[in-house]
Every structure is written in C-alpha cells, then in structure tokens.
Amino acid sequence: MDKRVLTELGIISVISFILFFVSTNVNPTLGGIYQGLAILGIVLTMIDISYGKKEIFMINQSISWGKAIMIAGASYVVLLFSSNLASSLAETIPLKELLGLLGATAPIFSQSPSINFVIFAIIIPIIETYVIFGAAIDIFSTIFKISPTKRNILSTKLIVIIIVISLAFLIFHTNAKGIENEGALILVGFMGFISCILIVWFNEYRIAILLHLFANSIASVGIFT
C-alpha cells in the first residue's frame, strides 16, 4: 500500500480514537457523529484503493507549506467576501422550508473552552475535509469515471459532483449551525464549494483543511471565549 495512504489512514485513525474520548467524556452526540464520519472516511479510502484509483492525497509535494498557507488565507478572504452574497440569498431561498424536516438542534459542548477549541478548530476541520470533500470526490470520480484534476474542472460530471458534495456539507451542518441561521448555512455551502475547487485544482486536501482550520479557529474565538 502507498505510504501516503498509510499516513492518511494513520492520522484519521488517531483522530478517531480522540473522538472516542470526546464521545465518552465531552459530548456523546458530537463525538459519536464525528467518530462515525472518521470511520466512514477510512472505509471509503479502503474501497477506493481496492476497487478504484486514489488520485488525490493529503499533501501535494510540489506545493510548499508556505504556499499552501497563503492560498488557504486568500481563500478565506474570498469566503469572507461571499458572506454578503450569502446574506442576500438567505432572504430569497426558503431554507427553513426546504430543510426544516432535518431538525435544528444545536450541539451541547462541555464547559472546557480549551477542549472545545481543539475539537471545533482542529479535529472537526480535518475530519470533515478529509471525508466529505477529499474521500468523497475521489470515490465519486472513480464511480463516474472522471479524473478529479483541474483540466476537468469544467466537465459536467465533476461540476455535478462538486455541487452535490457542497450541498451535502450544508445539510450536514443543519444540526451544528441551526436552521434558523440561513445566512450561515448558505455560507457553509459556499465554503464547501470553495474547498472542493481547492482540492481538485491543487490535487491535495491540505489547503482545504487549512481553510477550514482558519474559518473554525476564528469562529471559535467568539464562541468559546
């Protein structure tokens, strides 16, 4: 097995054990959901390397860490600018009616700001990006026989895959963000779309993970302090 795959599976396995601790000592619901997501990521990766062709890895060796951080930072600025569009769309798109059946229960976190910060700002971004964006793009690309590279980024199949994954990311956050905050949910959808584009264009998960880390870290300062 490719060493890059072993490294990725090792990282996700370690995070899964951390999430087991979260599920037993911090927040059973949150820990259980994300531990399940981590296990799903491992399963999808194993299926992809066994029956398909894994084309995207966590790190593209041709891109330095400095460049990756700069790209992620620029992408976060784009995300901030898109917040105005999200607010405008929230006034016209009836997300309450479309997604109301999915529920809107906000998770209850423990009383430790430091533990919450690590979970929300570090653990969750890695798991969500790896599974919902990275593993999903790879395995759907295998299923629909399209190479997830920037030369195919305008192909109908890849565009549909990206849009579906972005919507799935939005729906996944209905419980975390709260259905009443339609602007926040639309912004989450934009973030999902940007993350997918970053993964396909740069052929790695790392930049999208860094974007997610920036977004969640900055948001968590206001939530847990």
105 φ/ψ angles, rounded to the nearest 5 degrees: -85, 120
Model pLDDT, residue 106:
38
* pLDDT, tens digit, 9 for 90 and up, residues 78-107: 888 887 776 666 666 554 544 443 333 334
Q: Is the pLDDT confidence value at 18 over 80?
A: yes
Which are the contacts of 206, defined by CB distance < 8 A and separation ≥ 6?
A: 58, 59, 60, 63, 68
Look up tokens 């976060």; give the residue: 76
Query: Which of residues 199 and 181 earns the better pLDDT score?
Result: 199
Percent of the chain with pLDDT over 70: 81
- The angle that helices 28-51 and 3-25 make with each other, rounded to 10 degrees, is 160
Which are the contacts of 95, defined by CB distance < 8 A and separation ≥ 6?
A: 179, 182, 185, 186
Q: Is the pLDDT confidence value at 53 over 90?
A: no
- Do 203 and 186 meet the contact criterion of CB atoms below 8 Å apart? no
Buried (b) or exposed (e) across 86-116, using 16+ Cβ within 10 A? beebbeeeebeeebeeeebeeeebeeeeebb
Give the length of the chain.
225
User: Cα–Cα–Cα angle for 133, 135, 136, nearest 5°?
Assistant: 60
Of 68-77, 124-133, 212-221, minimum mean pLDDT range? 212-221
Query: Which of residues 206 and 224 earns the better pLDDT score?
Result: 206
User: Cα–Cα–Cα angle for 75, 105, 208, nearest 5°?
Assistant: 15
Q: How far apart are the first and last CA of the chain?
A: 43
Per-residue confidence band for 114, with pLDDT thresholds at 50, 70 and 90: confident
147 φ/ψ angles, rounded to the nearest 5 degrees: -80, 125
Q: Is the pLDDT confidence value at 42 over 70?
A: yes
Q: Is the pLDDT confidence value at 196 over 70?
A: yes
Q: Is the pLDDT confidence value at 143 over 70?
A: yes
* Number of Cβ atoms within 10 Å of the Cβ of 30: 23
Query: Which of residues 114 and 99 earns the better pLDDT score?
Result: 114
Q: Which neighbouring-strand residues pair with 204? A: 57
Compute the average pLDDT of residues 197-224: 86
